[in-house]
């Protein structure tokens, strides 16, 4: 039973969210920076051309025969027309006396000849960029300050800015999308080792409690250290409990044998029928218990040996014949005939003790669940890659519903009431098969009654 | 009612009612029309009546009230008087540009204006519908035995060689009276210094000053004048008595004026005004020359084909010669060249 995992948040989502937020902020900053530069550049270029225009106008001012003359150069305004189709205004003052141009054009401050003034103001309902520049002239021995303003509406500039803004927005969006993609990839690669570790741990077999040996990034060293440590402790604890079970079973079996001997002796001596019956009942229970203790020991042994498999070349056919021979007397007790169908030797790599144990458990079960005078068939065949051992009986078969459950510890079929058993037999068979990289299949005999257990073990190539 | 009253007043006393000088006036279309487009123009009525007739044909419930004024009076009417007109048509590009620059015009955008090339409109306020070169008109009889001059330099040389033949028989615009003459002269002066030499020579030969192209052409046709300088070529070429004179587009450079239309900001029916302008543009820019278009077809890329044609560019540059200082000094210069004692 696995406890529900208490889940909160996701590192991947959190990472992506953080990186995306960062990218969005950067994209917005990029947009405004580009727009700001563009605005500055557009303003500067308009200012420069206004400055060139006003300079050209002031340059033509001269005093001729005591009279101030001003000869507006054609280029002063046509250069503004080159920049855009914007409206142009101008005004020229001599010492605050209006000379020519647009008399209602706003005057911004008092410029010095060295430094013209720029400003954006509203005129005739439109935003205009205006420059105000000054020049000093000497007229009839008197210093005259000539100031000229040139102004231009900003439609062209705004159109340019809008175009640049659109480009900047596209740039920002592209930047954001690119960083979003990179954020996703970065986040994926950051949690990659975590996922690989999780996959490698969950891929392990139930018995595999080795420490994680694959290299991990520095950040994961504490986690993997803790995991390894935990598995160490688990291994020790498991070994201890197996040891404890084996020890306990062993300690119970010996006194049980003594109790059984005494009970049999007593059975010969008592004469009253009800006493003999209860003694037989007692012997049966003792048999049951000692058998369970034996299987617990077997299981402990199997568990130990599967961790330290001692493989050698063995002939599965000979092994089967030997086991059938050994259990022959037990079968004869119930008039069950056992047939060993082994046409040829089948050699595999395996642990003979474990395989014997498994086969004995299978045959034990077959004898136990077969009716009196039933048949049991053991056959060993070989295909190119596999050695197949099959045990068929003529018993009640397996209950269809819980075939997959039967290999679990202490699980017993639902149709075995009244027959003693520990529920460990098939567990042992399953563990042995797995230890040999084989497959166990439990089916019912399609022809007639009885169960059929097949062990498919890989044969050496 | 007010406009109708105004129109009637114009009909009855066309020369004094509006406060500016009206040269001519006409009303086209049904007298009970629902809408009246009031047009003020520097163009003569016969020149524009075919285009107007076509417009009325397409818009039967509209009448056109057509007032002719000089470009200066037109400027006065729209700028100072604030008279209510829906469309202003003028050959004085500088004054039209000033009106547009000073915010006295309305923006107009339509399918027709979209088709214009960039040089034929300004700020979507000013729309060109003609290209009219400034020509030299020469009397064939006066040049009997002489080569017809093809450039200003040729003309100067001939005038200098035969002062007696040409004395008192040279005509040009009086820049003080004619906006178009002033525009042509300033553009000439901007392009080449030859203009001033020619003016000196013409002044030395007691040049006669005119208000209008048509009178100059009349006088050349009648033999009174031998040379008329800076005459609207389109007017001259439209004359039936073309055999008496030759129209020369100077090969050194020919200034090309664009006649433009605009919608004054005082117009109270800008949509109708826009329709009228669109009609004018469609007639002008049609691929095939239309009978209702009295000018040399605008759509034949003449400017591009002939390098000597210099189209006057619409834009703030035109404001320069309207500056009172600039204008005064230019006219002073011109007067001292043309009016020689």
pLDDT in tens, A360-387: 888 888 888 888 888 888 999 888 888 8
Name the more confident of B297 and A5.
Answer: A5
* Residue B103 to residue A75, Cβ atoms within 8 A: no
Would A167 be classed as within a structural domain?
no
Residue A451 domain flag: yes
Least confident of A74-78, A353-357, B11-15, B253-257: B11-15
Closest CA to B228 of B295, B174, B307: B174
pLDDT at B1: 41
Q: How many domains does chain A have?
A: 3
CA distance B216 to B230: 10
Specify whether A94 is located in the same domain as A147: yes
Return the percent helix, strand and coil in chain A, to nearest 5.
55, 20, 25
Residue B173 pLDDT more than 90? yes
- Our CA-based measurement puts residue A121 at a distance from the nearest CA of chain B, in whole angstroms, of 16
- Identify how many contiguous H helices and E strands chain B contains and give both numbers: 14, 15
Question: Is 50 exceeded by the pLDDT of residue A70?
Answer: yes
Contact status, residue A98 vs residue B338, Cβ threshold 8 Å? no
Name the band, by pLDDT with cuts 50, 70 and 90, for residue A461: low
Nearest to B325 among A70, A76, A88 (CB): A70
What does the pLDDT average to over A433-460?
83
Do A147 and A47 share a structural domain? yes
Domain assignment present for A7:
no
Q: Which residues of A touch B323 (CB under 8 A)?
A: 72, 100-101
- For residue range B24-67, list pLDDT tens digits in order: 999 999 888 889 999 999 988 988 899 999 999 999 999 999 99
Q: Which of B106, B109, B317 to mutate to test the interface with A (most CBs of A within 10 A)?
A: B317
Q: Which residue has the tokens 């509209």?
A: B62
Contact A87 B316 (CB under 8 A): yes
Per-residue pLDDT, A427: 85
Q: How far apart are CA A61 and CA A70, in angstroms?
A: 4
Reported as a single tens digit per residue, the pLDDT across B116-162 is 998 999 999 999 999 899 999 999 999 988 899 999 999 999 999 99
Is a pLDDT exceeding 90 seen at residue A130? Answer: yes
A171 within a domain of the structure (yes/no): no
- A301, A359: one domain: no
Determine, for residues A81 and B324 on separate chains, whether the beta-carbon distance falls below 8 Å. no
Report d(CA A417, CA B92) in Å as an integer. 121
Q: What is the mean pLDDT of chain A?
A: 86
Q: Where in chain B is the domain with CATH 3.40.190.10?
A: 2-130+258-300, 133-256+322-338
Residue B296 above 50 pLDDT?
yes
Greater confidence (B83 vs A94) lies with A94
A69–B319: do the CB atoms touch at under 8 Å? Answer: no
pLDDT-derived band at A423, boundaries 50, 70, 90: confident
Q: For A75, which residue in chain B has the nearest alpha carbon?
A: B317
Model confidence at A453: pLDDT above 70: yes
From chain B, the residues in CB contact with A102 under 8 A are 102
Same domain, A120 and A237: no
Burial (CB count <10 Å: 0-12, 13-18, 19+), residue A274: exposed
Q: Pick from A399, A394, A408: which is nearest to A440 by CA?
A: A408
Q: Given pLDDT bands bounded at 50, 70 and 90, which one contains residue B13? A: very low
Residues near B18 by Cβ (< 8 Å), separated by ≥ 6? B10, B67, B77, B81, B83
Q: Does A446 touch chain B (CB under 8 A)?
A: no
Nearest to A433 by CA among A389, A383, A393, A402: A389
pLDDT of residue A421: 67
Domain final residue pick, A162, A189, A219:
A162
> Per the domain annotation, does A2 fall within a domain?
no
**List of chain A residues whose C-beta atoms are within 8 Å of the C-beta of residue B315:** 77-78, 81, 85
Residues of chain B whose beta carbon is less than 8 angstroms from a beta carbon of chain A are 100-103, 122-123, 190, 313, 315-321, 323-326, 329
* Closest in A77, A86, A126 to B317, CB measured: A77
Residues counted in chain B: 341
Whichever domain contains A321, its CATH number is 3.30.565.10
pLDDT at B214: 87
The answer on A317 and A299 residing in a single domain is: no
- Asked if A448 and A397 sit in the same domain, the reply is yes
Nearest CA-CA distance, residue B122 and chain A, Å:
7
Same domain, A282 and A338: no
Which pLDDT tens digit goes with each residue over B83-102?
A: 789 999 999 999 999 999 99
Q: Which of A73, A88, A126 sits opposite B316 (nearest CB)?
A: A88
Q: Which residue has 């043309």 as its token pair?
A: B338
Q: Answer yes or no: is A185 within a domain.
A: no
**Model pLDDT for residues A238-275, shown as the tens digit of each residue:** 888 878 877 887 888 888 888 889 988 988 888 888 98
Q: Residue A78: closest CA among chain B residues belongs to which residue?
A: B317
Most confident range, picked from A27-41, A276-290, B151-165: B151-165
Residue A145 belongs to a domain: yes
What average pLDDT score do residues A159-186 get? 90
Q: Looking at the predicted structure, is the pLDDT value of residue B70 above 90?
A: no
Does ipTM top 0.90? no
pLDDT at A332 over 70: yes
Contact between B261 and B88 under an 8 Å Cβ cutoff? The reply is yes
How many A-B residue pairs are in contact by the CB < 8 A criterion? Answer: 60
> Is residue B14 pLDDT above 50, yes or no?
no
Q: Are residues A314 and A355 in the same domain?
A: yes
Provide mean pLDDT across the span A195-209. Answer: 81
**In terms of pTM, does the model score above 0.80?**
no
Give CA–CA dist B93/B71, Å, rounded.
Answer: 9
State which residues form the domain around A217.
204-308
Together in a domain, A116 and A250: no
Q: Is A329 in the same domain as A452?
A: yes
Supply the DSSP string of A180-240, one letter for each residue. HHHHHHHHHHHHHHHHHHHHHHHHS-TT--PPP-S---GGGHHHHHHHHHHHHHHHHHHHH
Asked whether residue A56 carries a pLDDT value surpassing 90, the answer given is yes
CATH topology of domain B2-130+258-300: D-Maltodextrin-Binding Protein; domain 2 (3.40.190)
- Regarding whether A457 and A392 lie in a shared domain, the answer is yes
B133-256+322-338 CATH fold: D-Maltodextrin-Binding Protein; domain 2 (3.40.190)
Q: Is A186 among the domain residues?
A: no
Residues A315 and A289 in one domain: no
Which runs of consecutive H residues, i.e. helices, occur in chain B? Answer: 2-12, 45-58, 71-76, 93-101, 111-114, 152-161, 163-166, 179-191, 194-204, 213-222, 233-237, 270-284, 302-305, 324-338
């Amino acid at each position: 039973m696995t406890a529900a995992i208490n889940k909160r948040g996701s590192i991947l989502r959190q990472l992506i969210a953080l990186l995306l937020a960062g990218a969005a902020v950067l994209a917005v900053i990029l947009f405004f920076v580009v727009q700001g530069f563009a605005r500055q550049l557009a303003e500067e270029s308009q200012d420069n051309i206004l400055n060139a225009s006003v300079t050209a106008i002031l340059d033509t001012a001269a005093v001729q025969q005591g009279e101030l003359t001003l000869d507006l150069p054609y280029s002063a305004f046509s250069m503004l027309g080159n920049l855009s189709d914007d409206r142009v205004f101008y005004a020229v003052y001599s010492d605050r006396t209006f000379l020519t141009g647009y008399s209602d054009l706003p005057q911004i401050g008092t410029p010095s000849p060295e430094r013209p003034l720029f400003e954006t103001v509203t005129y005739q309902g439109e935003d205009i960029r205006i420059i105000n520049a000054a020049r000093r002239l000497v007229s009839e021995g008197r210093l005259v300050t000539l100031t000229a303003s040139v102004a231009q509406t900003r439609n062209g500039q705004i159109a340019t800015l809008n175009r640049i803004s659109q480009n900047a927005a596209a740039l920002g969006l592209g930047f954001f999308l690119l960083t979003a993609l990179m954020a996703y990839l970065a986040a994926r690669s950051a949690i990659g080792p975590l996922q690989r570790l999780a996959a490698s741990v969950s891929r392990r077999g139930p018995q595999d409690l080795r420490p994680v040996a694959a290299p991990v990034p520095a950040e994961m060293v504490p986690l993997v250290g803790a995991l390894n440590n935990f598995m160490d402790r688990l291994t020790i604890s498991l070994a201890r409990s197996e040891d404890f079970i084996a020890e306990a079973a062993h300690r119970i079996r010996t006194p049980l044998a003594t109790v059984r001997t005494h009970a049999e002796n007593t059975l010969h001596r008592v004469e009253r029928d009800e006493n003999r019956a209860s003694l037989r009942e007692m012997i049966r229970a003792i048999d049951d218990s000692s058998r369970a203790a034996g299987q617990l020991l077997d299981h402990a042994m199997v568990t130990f040996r599967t961790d330290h498999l001692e493989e050698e070349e063995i002939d599965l056919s000979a092994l089967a014949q030997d086991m059938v021979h050994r259990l022959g007397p037990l079968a004869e007790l119930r008039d069950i005939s056992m047939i060993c169908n082994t046409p040829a030797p089948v050699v595999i790599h395996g642990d003979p003790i474990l395989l014997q144990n498994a086969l004995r458990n299978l045959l034990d079960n077959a004898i136990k669940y077969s009716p009196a005078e039933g048949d049991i068939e053991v056959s060993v065949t070989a295909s190119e890659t596999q050695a197949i051992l099959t045990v068929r009986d003529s018993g009640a078969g397996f209950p269809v519903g819980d075939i997959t459950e039967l290999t679990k510890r202490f699980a017993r079929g639902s149709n075995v009431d009244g027959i003693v058993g520990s529920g460990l037999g098939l567990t042992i068979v399953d563990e042995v098969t797995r230890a040999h990289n084989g497959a166990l299949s439990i089916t019912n005999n399609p022809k007639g009654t009885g169960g059929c257990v097949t062990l498919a073990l890989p044969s050496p190539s | 009612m007010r406009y109708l009253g105004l129109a009637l007043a114009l009909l009855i006393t066309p020369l004094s009612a509006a406060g500016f000088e009206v040269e001519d006036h006409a009303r086209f279309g049904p007298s009970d029309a629902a809408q009246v487009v009031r047009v003020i123009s520097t163009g003569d009525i016969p020149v524009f009546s075919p285009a107007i007739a076509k417009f009325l044909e397409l818009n039967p419930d509209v009448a056109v009230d057509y007032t002719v004024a000089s470009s200066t009076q037109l400027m006065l009417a729209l700028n100072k008087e604030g008279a209510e007109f829906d469309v202003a048509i003028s050959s004085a590009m500088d004054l039209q540009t000033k009106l547009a620059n000073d915010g006295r015009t309305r923006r107009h955008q339509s399918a027709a204006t979209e088709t214009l090339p960039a040089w034929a409109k300004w700020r979507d306020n000013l729309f060109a519908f003609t290209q009219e070169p400034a020509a030299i008109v020469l009397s064939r009889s006066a040049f009997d035995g002489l080569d017809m001059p093809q450039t200003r330099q040729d003309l100067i040389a001939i005038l200098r060689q035969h002062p007696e033949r040409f004395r008192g028989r040279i005509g040009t615009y009086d820049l003080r009276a004619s906006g178009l003459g002033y525009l042509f002269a300033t553009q000439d002066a901007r392009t080449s210094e030859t203009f001033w030499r020619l003016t000196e020579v013409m002044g030395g030969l007691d040049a006669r000053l005119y208000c209008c192209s048509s009178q100059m052409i009349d006088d050349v046709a009648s033999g009174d004048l031998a040379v008329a300088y800076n005459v609207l070529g389109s007017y001259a070429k439209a004359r039936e008595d073309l055999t008496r004179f030759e129209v020369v587009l100077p090969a050194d450079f020919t200034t090309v004026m664009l006649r433009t239309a605009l919608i004054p900001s005082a117009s109270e029916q800008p949509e109708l005004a826009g329709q009228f302008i669109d009609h004018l543009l469609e007639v002008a820019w049609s691929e095939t020359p239309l009978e209702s278009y009295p000018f040399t077809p605008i759509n034949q890329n003449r400017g591009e084909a002939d390098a000597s044609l210099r189209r006057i560019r619409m834009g703030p540059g035109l404001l320069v010669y309207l500056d009172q200082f600039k204008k005064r000094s230019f006219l002073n210069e011109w007067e001292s060249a043309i009016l020689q004692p």
